[in-house]
Chain A
Amino acid sequence: MVQSPPALRRHDSLANPDWRPRLESLLAQGVAAGADLVEVFLERTDALGVLAEQDTITSVNPSFGMGAGLRVFRGRFDGFVSTNDLSEAGLLTALDQALGMLGLLRSSHSRNAYEGLPPLQDLAVAKGDWLAQCPSLQEATTRLLEGTDQLSRLGQHLQVRRGSYARNWQDVLVVASDGTHAHDIRLHQSLGLNVLAADGDHRASLGRRYGSHGRPDELRQWQAEESARDLCDSAATMLRADYVEAGQFPVVLANRFGGVIFHEACGHLLETTQIERGTTPFAEQLGQEIAHPAVTAIDEGLTDGAFGSLAMDDEGMAPQRTVLIENGILRRFLSDRAGEIRTGHGRTGSGRRQSHAFAAASRMRNTYIAAGPHTPEALIASIDKGLYCKSMGGGSVGPTGQFNFAVEEGFLIENGQLTKPVKGATLIGEAKEVMPRISMCANDLELAAGFCGSVSGSIFVTVGQPHIKVDTITVGGR
Chain B
Amino acid sequence: MASGTTPSDFPAPLDVASLRQRLESLAKDEGVGRWDLGAGCSTDTSVQVDRGEAKQMKGAQRSAITLRVWNGAGLVGITSTSDLSDAGLARAMAGARAASDFGNPDDVPAFSPLATAPLPPLDQPLQEPLSILSLLDTLKEAEAELLQRHPAIATVPYNGLSQRSSERIYINSDGACRHQELTTASLYLYARAEEAGRKPRSSGAMRVGYGAKDLDVAGCVAEAAERTIAHLNYAPIDTGRYTCVFSPEAFLDLIGAFSSLFNARAVLDGVSLSKRESLGQPLAVPFLSIRDNGLHPGNVGAARFDGEGTPSQCLPLVSEGVLVNFLHSEATARSFGVAPTGHAGLGAKVSVGPDWFEIGPSAGIPGGTEGLDHPSGTGPGVGREGLVVIDSLSALHAGVKASQGSFSLPFDGWWIHGGESRSIEAATVAGDIRTVLNSLVGFEGLAKVTPGGLCPWVWVEGLSVTGEA
Residue of A nearest to B98 (CB): A137
Among the 9-residue stretches B61-69, B118-126, B164-172, B377-385, the one with 4 or more Cβ atoms under 8 Å from chain A is B61-69
Contact A399 B157 (CB under 8 A): yes
Chain B nearest CB: distance from A88 CB in Å?
Answer: 14
Docked pose: A359 CA to B83 CA in angstroms: 21
Q: Is the CB of A394 within 8 A of B270?
A: no
Least CB distance from B241 to A in Å reads 9
A56 / chain B contacts, CB cutoff of 8 Å: 104, 106
Q: Roughly how many angstroms separate A277 CA and B158 CA in the complex, as a whole number?
A: 8
Contact: B192 with A279, CB < 8 Å?
yes
Point out the residue from B81, B99, B157, B410 that lies within 8 Å of A404, measured CB to CB: B410
The answer to whether A100 touches B6 (Cβ under 8 A) is yes
The CA-CA distance from A349 to B405 in the complex, in Å, is 42
* CB of B47, distance to nearest CB on chain A (Å): 8
- In the assembled complex, A341 has its CB within 8 A of some CB on chain B: no
Contact of B395 with A406 in the complex, beta carbons under 8 Å? yes
**Pairwise interchain contact B199-A64, C-beta atoms closer than 8 A:** no
8 A Cβ contacts from A45-97 to B: 50-51, 53, 56-67, 76-85, 90, 93-94, 96-97
- Whether the pair B430, A477 counts as a contact (CB closer than 8 A) is yes
CA–CA, A475 and B79, complex, Å: 44
User: In the complex the two chains form, is B410's CB within 8 Å of A277's CB?
Assistant: no
Chain B interface SS verdict (over half) = mixed
Which of B20-28, B283-291, B303-311, B396-404 interfaces with chain A?
B396-404
**With A and B bound together, what is the CA distance between A100 and B88 in angstroms?**
31
CB neighbours (8 Å) of B80 from chain A are 61-65
Partner of A100, one of B132, B347, B410: B132
- The reply to whether A82 and B60 form a contact with Cβ atoms under 8 Å apart is yes
- Contact code string A380-408 (vs B, CB < 8 Å = 1, else 0): 00000000000001111011111011100
A123 on interface, CB distance cutoff 8 Å = no
Which of A97, A159, A406 interacts with B270 by CB under 8 Å? A159
A196's partner among B57, B83, B271 (CB-CB below 8 A) is B271
B464 in the interface (beta carbon within 8 A) = yes
Say yes or no: is A311 at the interface (Cβ < 8 Å to chain B): no
Interface size class of A (residues with CB under 8 A): 35 or more
Q: Report if A276-B55 is in contact (Cβ < 8 Å); known contacts: A357-B60, A404-B398.
A: yes
A61/B430 contact (C-beta < 8 A), A100-B5, A474-B466 known: no
C-alpha gap A212/B148 in the complex (Å): 49
Distance, CA A59 to CA B108, complexed state (A):
11
Cβ A247 vs Cβ B56 within 8 A: no
Q: Which residues of A contact B106 (CB under 8 A)?
A: 56
B59 close to A (CB within 8 Å)? yes
Interface SS of A by simple majority: strand
Given known A-B contacts A97-B4, A99-B4, A424-B406, A65 and B99 have beta carbons under 8 A apart = no
* Shortest distance from the beta carbon of A133 to any chain B beta carbon, whole Å: 18
Give Cα A98 to B467, complex, Å: 47
Distance in Å from the Cβ of A231 to the closest Cβ of chain B?
A: 15
Which residues from A are CB-within-8-Å of B82? 65-67, 84
Q: When chains A and B are docked, how far (Å) is the Cα of A100 from the Cα of B7? A: 11
CB contacts (< 8 Å) of B57 on chain A: these are 78-80, 101-102
CA distance A276 to B56 in the complex (A): 11
- B91 interface hit (Cβ, 8 Å): yes
Q: Is the CB of B269 within 8 A of A406?
A: no
A278, B157: Cβ atoms closer than 8 Å: yes
Q: How far is the CA of A404 from the CA of B408 in the complex (A)?
A: 10
Question: Is B78 on the interface with A (CB-CB < 8 A)?
Answer: yes
Q: Measured between alpha carbons, how far is A7 from B2 in the docked complex, in Å?
A: 29
What residues of chain B lie closer than 8 Å to A59, measured between beta carbons?
A: 104, 347-349
**Chain A residue nearest to B46 in the complex (CB):** A80
Q: 1/0 per residue A467-478: CB within 8 Å of B?
A: 000000011111
A78 to B410, CA, bound (A): 35
Q: Is B180 an interface residue (CB 8 A)?
A: no
Once the chains bind, are A100 and B78 in contact (CB under 8 Å)? no
- Determine the distance from Cα of A205 to Cα of B266 in the docked complex, in whole angstroms: 14
The number of A-B residue pairs with CB atoms under 8 Å apart is 255
Q: Which of B58, B77, B157 has the most CB of A within 10 A?
A: B58
Nearest residue (CB) in A for B62 is A84
Contacts of A274-322 to chain B: CB distance below 8 A: 276-279
Verify B192–A428 contact, CB threshold 8 A: no
Q: Which residues of B contact A84 (CB under 8 A)?
A: 61-64, 82-84
Which residue among A76, A100, A430 has the maximum number of chain B CB atoms within 10 Å of its CB? A100
B102 contact set on A, CB distance < 8 A: 50, 57, 60, 137, 141
Query: Inside 8 A of A93's CB, which chain B residues have their CB?
Result: 1, 61
User: Is the CB–CB distance between A64 and B81 below 8 Å?
Assistant: yes
Residue A203 is within 8 A (CB to CB) of chain B in the complex? yes
Interface of chain B residues 174 through 217 with chain A (CB within 8 A): 190, 192, 199-202
Among A97, A428, A475, A476, which residue has its beta carbon within 8 angstroms of that of B6? A97
A276 to B428, CA, bound (A): 29
Given the known interface contacts A426-B410, A476-B408, the answer about A399 and B190 at a Cβ–Cβ threshold of 8 Å is: yes
CB of A66 to closest CB in B, whole Å: 6
CB-CB under 8 A for A400 and B466, given A56-B104, A100-B5, A159-B270:
no
Asked if A19 is an interface residue, CB under 8 A from chain B, the answer is: no
**Cα of A409 to Cα of B81 in the assembled complex, Å:** 39
- Most-contacted residue by chain B among A101, A159, A393 (CB, 10 A): A101
Asked whether, in the complex, the Cβ of A97 is within 8 Å of the Cβ of B7, the reply is: yes
A50 to B79 alpha-carbon distance, docked (Å)? 12
> In whole Å, how far is B339's beta carbon from the nearest beta carbon of chain A?
23
Bound CA–CA A248/B427 (angstroms):
12
CB-contact partner of B398 in A63, A80, A395, under 8 A: A395
A sample of 12 cross-chain residue pairs with beta-carbon separation below 8 angstroms, ordered by A number, consists of A56-B106, A57-B104, A61-B348, A76-B53, A94-B61, A99-B4, A160-B270, A247-B466, A402-B410, A406-B408, A424-B430, A426-B409
- Using CB atoms and an 8 Å cutoff, list the residues of chain A in contact with chain B: 4, 7, 10, 50-51, 53, 56-67, 76-85, 90, 93-94, 96-102, 104-106, 137, 141, 159-160, 196, 203-205, 243, 246-248, 276-279, 357, 359, 393-396, 398-402, 404-406, 423-426, 428-430, 474-478
For the A-B complex with A246-B239, A278-B192, A474-B467 known, give 9 more contacts whose Cβ atoms are closer than 8 Å: A59-B349, A76-B53, A101-B5, A105-B4, A357-B62, A400-B192, A424-B430, A426-B410, A476-B466
